[in-house]
Structure 1
Amino acid sequence: MLVEITWYGRGGQGAWTSSNILAMAAALDGKFAQSFPAFGPERSGAPMLAFTRISDEPIEIHSMVYNPDVVVVLDDSLISPKVLSGIKEGGLVILNYTGGQEDLFKRLGETPRGVKVYTTPATRLALEILKANITNTAMLGGLMKASEIVSWSSLEKAVRERFRGAVADKNIDLIKRAYDSTVKVR
């Protein structure tokens, strides 16, 4: 089964890094995976997209993801109806968000039928643990709560391949704390 994920973030927040870590973990689980960004000459802080595909079969699609199964939003300022564009029925949305549900759904708009929405306090946790507003690994924790798309052991190995020493340890701690703090809101 093919799972397609769209990551919404800002340059410098690590959306593409998260996409890469997830794809690496999927490969460690014996699956086929793709990870790639979509950005132009934007500067740090500008909105950008990243994509991940994971499948049990070889992946022959080589385009952006237009109908994601999963949407992950790393920056709460990017929450809008746009992030739901094309999401499949029964899809998952994982948002970096800590406000009230009324405000959230006013900003997000109407969710398509069967779409499940989760929130993760990624900014708060990243600032606490990493001392930086780099929310990517926190959002991996949120994604794991919504759908354990890869094994925990492979995810940890992938994080340790991408980061070293204390940085890897902090990011693994951040993933676990975000997992524990993620809540299904719809």
Structure 2
Amino acid sequence: MRFHGRGGQGVVTAADILAVAAFKEGYWTLSFPMFGAEKRGGPVVSYLKISESKINDRDEIYEPDYAVVLDPTILSKDVVNGLKGWLIANYPDLEKAKEKTKWERTITIDATKLALEILGRPITNTAMVGAFAGFTKIVKLSTLKETIYEWFEKKNEEIAKKNVEVAERAYREVEKYADKLRSSIKTA
């Protein structure tokens, strides 16, 4: 999968958290960012490979099964370049997201609103990790919550608890309509 966002939003952290959670569940994982001259606020891409067998290919992912967009301001046709599967985007309106990307297999969540409500800051990485897990079921919610808590508890236990809450709320919100959305795409 490929993660898109801006420097300072936790794009790399999002991929790393999912890598650790998937590893805990017995998968082989590889997570790595694409670095250039990025600065806080500049576009950032991070990659994540999850496999049931050893991962030998360490190249960038040109044809991801999933693209996850953390920042609504970068939502465009560029984020779906090479995409084979689903776009999971932080965007408040599903139809407008599809219009911007010209990608039918899109699922959205207003992760910014959720992060502001719970964290008090527009840092959407754990919300998007929760949304991804709620849609794909690649990792269990319990494993994801444990991983997020461990990731953030070193900084501050309260921040850890809030990030777990953000992820769980996003997971549940996306889970509610994921199957219905998948079905509507298959029959369309």
> Structure 2 length normalisation: TM-score?
0.88
**Residue in structure 1 matched with residue 17 of structure 2 by the alignment:** 21
1:13 is paired with a residue whose SS is coil
Q: Which aligned runs of 4 or more in structure 1 are off by greater than 6 angstroms?
A: none
Correspondent of 1:174 among 153, 163, 166: 166
Count of aligned residue pairs for this structure pair: 175
Correspondent of 2:80 among 81, 84, 87: 84
Give aligned-pair identity as a percent.
Answer: 38
**Residue in structure 2 matched with residue 128 of structure 1 by the alignment:** 117
2:53 is paired with a residue whose SS is coil
**Residue in structure 2 matched with residue 104 of structure 1 by the alignment:** 97
* Gaps in structure 1 of 5+ consecutive residues: none
Q: Which has the higher contact order (CA 8 A, sep 6+)?
A: 1
> C-alpha distance in 2, partners of 1:60/1:99?
38
Is 1:149–2:151 an aligned residue pair?
A: no
* Gaps in structure 2 of 5+ consecutive residues: none
> C-alpha distance in 2, partners of 1:178/1:30?
24
Q: How does 1:22-61 map to 2 (within 5 A)?
A: 22-61=18-57
Q: Which has the higher helix share?
A: 2
> Structure 1 length normalisation: TM-score?
0.89
Structure 1 residue 134 displacement after superposition: 0.5
> What's the C-alpha RMSD, in Å, of the aligned pairs?
1.4
Structure 1 residue 100 displacement after superposition: 5.7
Contact 1:121 1:181 in 2 (8 A): no
